[in-house]
Structure 1
Amino acid sequence: MTGTDIFERSTGRISALHLIIIGLSLTMTLGAWLYSKKQLEHRIESRFLAARDSTVDLILDSMSRYEDALWSGVAAISALGGDVDMQEWKVFAQSLNIDQRYPGVNGVGVIHYVPRETLPAYLAEREAERQGFEIYPQHDQGFSLPITYIEPEDVNAAAVGLDVAHEVNRRTGLLASRDTGRSKITGPIVLVQDSDHTPGFLFYAPYYSGGIPETLEERREQFQGVVYAPFVVRKLVEGLLSKERRDVHFSIRDGEQTIYDEHAIDDGLSDANPLYTDTVSLDLYGRNWEIEVRSNLAFRTNNGFEQPTLILFGGLIIEALIIALLISMARANSRARSYAFELTTELRGKSEKLEMANAEIEQFVYVASHDLKTPARGIGFLTDLMEEDLSEHVNDQEAHGALQMHLDLIRERVERMHALTRGIMDYARVGRSDLSHDNVAPEEIIKACIADFEVDTAQVHLESDVEKIVVDSHNFRRILENLIGNAFKYHPDPAKAHVAITISEKPDHLEVMVADDGAGIAPQYHERIFEVFQTLRTSEDQESTGIGLAIVKKLVEQHGGTVRVDSDEGRGACFVFQWPKTLLNERPEGLGKVA
Structure 2
Amino acid sequence: MKRAQWQQMTIPPLVNSRISILHVLVVALSMALTFSAWHFSKKQAESRIEQRFDASRDHIVGLLRDRMLKYEDALWAGVAAMESHDGDMTRAQWRTFATHLRIDEKYPGINGIGVIHFLSDQSLNTYLGQRRSEQPNFNIFPPHDHPTYMPISFIEPEEINAAAVGLDVAHELNRRTAALASRDTGDAQITGPIVLVQDAGAMPGFLFYAPFYRGGVPTELGDRQNRIDGVVYAPFVVRKLLDGLLAKDLRHTSISISDAGQTIYDEHSSAEELHDPAPMFTEEVQLNFYGRSWTLDIRSNLAFRENNSYVQPTVILVGGIVIEALILSLLIMMARANRNAVAYADKVTEDLRIEQQKLVRSNEELERYAYAASHDLKTPIRGIGGLTEMLKEDLEDYLSSPDANPEIAMSLDLILDRVQRMTDLTNGIIEFSRVGAQSEDGSPLDLSELMTSLASDFGLASHQVELNSSVNTVSVDPVGLRRAIENLVGNAVKYHEAVADLRILITCQKTSDFLQFSIADNGPGIDKKYHDRIFEMFQTLRTGDAPESTGIGLAVVKKAVEVHGGEVKLISSIGAGARFFFQWPKDPKSDVAQGARVAA
TM-score range, shorter chain: 0.5 to 0.7
Deviation of 1:224 after TM superposition, in Å, equals 1.0
Gaps of 5+ in 1: 1-13, 335-370, 416-534, 541-595
Task: Name 2:115's counterpart in structure 1.
Answer: 110
For residues 19-64 of structure 1, the C-alpha deviation after alignment (integer angstroms, 9 at most, x for no partner) is 6534421221012212322333333333222222222221111111
Task: Name 2:416's counterpart in structure 1.
Answer: 408
CA RMSD of aligned residues (A): 4.2
Task: Name 1:227's counterpart in structure 2.
Answer: 232
Deviation of 1:299 after TM superposition, in Å, equals 2.3
Deviation of 1:406 after TM superposition, in Å, equals 5.9
Task: Tell me if the contact between 1:182 and 1:205 (Cα under 8 Å) persists in the aligned partners.
Answer: yes
Match of 2:251 among 219, 231, 246: 246
Task: Name 2:276's counterpart in structure 1.
Answer: 271
- C-alpha distance in 2 between matches for 1:59 and 1:379: 60
- C-alpha distance in 2 between matches for 1:85 and 1:538: 91
Task: Tell me if the contact between 2:319 and 2:384 (Cα under 8 Å) persists in the aligned partners.
Answer: no
Task: Name 1:74's counterpart in structure 2.
Answer: 79
- C-alpha distance in 2 between matches for 1:393 and 1:98: 52
- C-alpha distance in 2 between matches for 1:201 and 1:289: 12
Please give the secondary structure, in 2, of the residue aligned with 1:77.
helix
- C-alpha distance in 2 between matches for 1:199 and 1:397: 49
- C-alpha distance in 1 between matches for 2:77 and 2:197: 25
Task: Tell me if the contact between 2:285 and 2:296 (Cα under 8 Å) persists in the aligned partners.
Answer: yes
Task: Tell me if the contact between 1:318 and 1:379 (Cα under 8 Å) persists in the aligned partners.
Answer: no
Task: Tell me if the contact between 1:186 and 1:202 (Cα under 8 Å) persists in the aligned partners.
Answer: yes
For residues 296-347 of structure 1, the C-alpha deviation after alignment (integer angstroms, 9 at most, x for no partner) is 222222333222212211212333455567789999999xxxxxxxxxxxxx
Please give the secondary structure, in 2, of the residue aligned with 1:264.
coil
Task: Tell me if the contact between 1:108 and 1:150 (Cα under 8 Å) persists in the aligned partners.
Answer: yes
Which moves more between the two structures, 300-309 or 139-148?
300-309
- C-alpha distance in 2 between matches for 1:219 and 1:183: 14
Task: Tell me if the contact between 1:379 and 1:414 (Cα under 8 Å) persists in the aligned partners.
Answer: no
Deviation of 1:128 after TM superposition, in Å, equals 2.4
Which moves more between the two structures, 231-240 or 385-394?
385-394
Amino acid at match of 2:261: E
Amino acid at match of 2:189: K
Task: Tell me if the contact between 1:275 and 1:295 (Cα under 8 Å) persists in the aligned partners.
Answer: yes
Deviation of 1:275 after TM superposition, in Å, equals 2.4
Task: Tell me if the contact between 2:388 and 2:415 (Cα under 8 Å) persists in the aligned partners.
Answer: no
Please give the secondary structure, in 1, of the residue aligned with 2:133.
helix
Task: Name 1:24's counterpart in structure 2.
Answer: 29
- C-alpha distance in 2 between matches for 1:232 and 1:81: 31
Please give the secondary structure, in 2, of the residue aligned with 1:144.
coil
Aligned length: 385
- C-alpha distance in 2 between matches for 1:73 and 1:194: 23
Amino acid at match of 1:407: I
Deviation of 1:274 after TM superposition, in Å, equals 2.2
Map residues 204-223 of structure 1 onto 2, 5 A cutoff.
Answer: 204-223=209-228
Deviation of 1:265 after TM superposition, in Å, equals 5.3
Deviation of 1:215 after TM superposition, in Å, equals 1.6
Please give the secondary structure, in 2, of the residue aligned with 1:293.
strand
Which moves more between the two structures, 317-326 or 205-214?
317-326
Match of 1:388 among 375, 383, 390: 383
Deviation of 1:219 after TM superposition, in Å, equals 1.1
- The answer to whether structure 1 residue 399 and structure 2 residue 404 are counterparts is no
Which moves more between the two structures, 299-308 or 137-146?
299-308
Deviation of 1:389 after TM superposition, in Å, equals 6.7
Amino acid at match of 1:158: A
- The answer to whether structure 1 residue 191 and structure 2 residue 196 are counterparts is yes
Amino acid at match of 1:255: A
Query: CA 1:192 to 1:390, structure 2 compared with 1: closer, same or farther past 3 Å?
Result: farther
- C-alpha distance in 2 between matches for 1:538 and 1:143: 93
Which moves more between the two structures, 180-189 or 378-387?
378-387
Map residues 86-485 of structure 1 onto 2, 5 A cutoff.
Answer: 86-264=91-269, 266-321=271-326, 382=377, 385-388=380-383, 391=386, 394-395=389-390, 398-399=393-394, 405=413, 407-411=415-419
- C-alpha distance in 2 between matches for 1:291 and 1:232: 17
- C-alpha distance in 2 between matches for 1:259 and 1:289: 10
Tell me the TM-score normalized by structure 1: 0.56
Please give the secondary structure, in 1, of the residue aligned with 2:195.
coil
Task: Tell me if the contact between 1:93 and 1:151 (Cα under 8 Å) persists in the aligned partners.
Answer: yes
Tell me the TM-score normalized by structure 2: 0.56
Task: Tell me if the contact between 1:380 and 1:411 (Cα under 8 Å) persists in the aligned partners.
Answer: no
Task: Tell me if the contact between 2:75 and 2:233 (Cα under 8 Å) persists in the aligned partners.
Answer: yes
Task: Tell me if the contact between 2:276 and 2:301 (Cα under 8 Å) persists in the aligned partners.
Answer: yes
Task: Tell me if the contact between 2:115 and 2:233 (Cα under 8 Å) persists in the aligned partners.
Answer: yes
Query: CA 1:44 to 1:215, structure 2 compared with 1: closer, same or farther past 3 Å?
Result: same
Query: CA 1:406 to 1:304, structure 2 compared with 1: closer, same or farther past 3 Å?
Result: farther
Query: CA 1:81 to 1:118, structure 2 compared with 1: closer, same or farther past 3 Å?
Result: closer
Please give the secondary structure, in 1, of the residue aligned with 2:194.
coil
Task: Tell me if the contact between 1:311 and 1:406 (Cα under 8 Å) persists in the aligned partners.
Answer: no
For residues 430-469 of structure 1, the C-alpha deviation after alignment (integer angstroms, 9 at most, x for no partner) is xxxxxxxxxxxxxxxxxxxxxxxxxxxxxxxxxxxxxxxx
Amino acid at match of 2:416: D
Task: Tell me if the contact between 1:387 and 1:394 (Cα under 8 Å) persists in the aligned partners.
Answer: no
- C-alpha distance in 2 between matches for 1:161 and 1:105: 20
Task: Tell me if the contact between 2:155 and 2:161 (Cα under 8 Å) persists in the aligned partners.
Answer: yes
- C-alpha distance in 2 between matches for 1:310 and 1:89: 64
- Greater RCO, 1 or 2 (C-alpha within 8 Å, sep 6+): 2
Task: Tell me if the contact between 1:383 and 1:407 (Cα under 8 Å) persists in the aligned partners.
Answer: no
Q: Percent identity?
A: 51
Please give the secondary structure, in 2, of the residue aligned with 1:139.
coil
Amino acid at match of 1:385: P
Query: CA 1:387 to 1:302, structure 2 compared with 1: closer, same or farther past 3 Å?
Result: farther
Please give the secondary structure, in 2, of the residue aligned with 1:156.
helix
Task: Name 2:511's counterpart in structure 1.
Answer: none
Task: Tell me if the contact between 2:141 and 2:168 (Cα under 8 Å) persists in the aligned partners.
Answer: yes
Deviation of 1:126 after TM superposition, in Å, equals 2.0
Query: CA 1:392 to 1:214, structure 2 compared with 1: closer, same or farther past 3 Å?
Result: same
Please give the secondary structure, in 2, of the residue aligned with 1:145.
coil
